[in-house]
Every structure is written in structure tokens, then in C-alpha cells.
Amino acid sequence: MKQYHYPTSIVGTSTKTLKIYTGTSKIGEIKGYYDNVIKKIIDNYTDRSNPFFIRYQIIDEYGSVRFTSKNGGALKRKVYITYLSDNGTNHELIMLDTKHFDGFGEKGVNFNFNGKDYYIIKHIFEPAQLFHLNNLIADWNIEHRSGRVVIKIFEQDYLDEYLIIGLFHAWFYASKG
């Protein structure tokens, strides 16, 4: 198992850079950003638990953008992802909401990467969990007392750390899980 963490902000629409660590070693940064100031104003003065316009990037320790996300609908039914793998290949994927009618309980999302189906599920008051078939790959949790997000990767053979961190962050961070 490998564990990563980064600080959390009070507001999910914050564009403050968040540094990602494994232990005490910095492995990258998450940056929230807006295309223009109008979109930022709209997100900050409407429903902050479901921002529409914020985008996220993950930049590795060498300064390369490894992950970019953008929301695909007003009800957050999908998120578009661009991911740059270690070998320099760009991958496009779409995260699709599977539990959109149950806003207060279980949350779920499916996506396909390299021909394999994955899903993320989050039950209320529990960490979000990433699966391929029935294999638990990773989990993501906001630790409110310590003011940080913790990601535990149990199976590193499936997906890259930047992709896993980005998927969880893009889907759950703005709404605080």
C-alpha cells in the first residue's frame, strides 16, 4: 500500500495550489482554475457544493501536466478527463454519474480506461473507493481533524498514482465528498 495526502480547503471552489505528498516527499500539485473571471463568479455565488466551471490540473514533480478535468454538465453527470501517462501518451476518458438521484446517500461513478471498466463508490461517512471488477484499488477520504485528504493505493498495477488522485479529486473534492 502507498499513501498520499494533500491539504484541504474550506471551499471546494478554491484555486489555491494544493501540494501532494507521499510521506514527506512532494510528488506534485493540484491546481484549480477557471477559464475566465465570470465563470469563477458564477461558481462562487451559486451552489458551491456542485460547481460547474472549475477545472483541475495535476502537475508532477517535474512540472509536467499529468491530469486535467472539466465538468460536462450542470448537474455534474459527467467529467471529462485528459491524462498524460508515463510514456507520454494522452488518454481521454469520461467519468459518468451512476447515482445522481440519491444526492444525500451513496455516490457512484463509472469510467473506462484502456478497455477496462472501473467504478468509484462512496457511501455517506465512509471513504470513496475505486474498484476494477471487485478488486479494491484505492480509497480517498477527507480527514477533517487534520485538514487533509488522504489517498491509499492498495493495488498499483491497475492505474497510475496521478490518474487515481485526479479521478477522486475531480469527482469528490468540490463537494467535499
What confidence tier does 74 reach under pLDDT thresholds 50, 70, 90? low
Compute the distance between CA of residue 140 and CA of residue 30 in angstroms, rounded to an integer: 15
Contact 84, 66 (CB under 8 A): yes
How long, in residues, is the chain? 177
pLDDT tens digits, 30-58: 999 998 899 888 887 776 566 778 899 99
- Predicted TM-score (pTM) of the model is 0.90
Average pLDDT score over the chain: 88
Q: Is the pLDDT of residue 175 over 70?
A: no
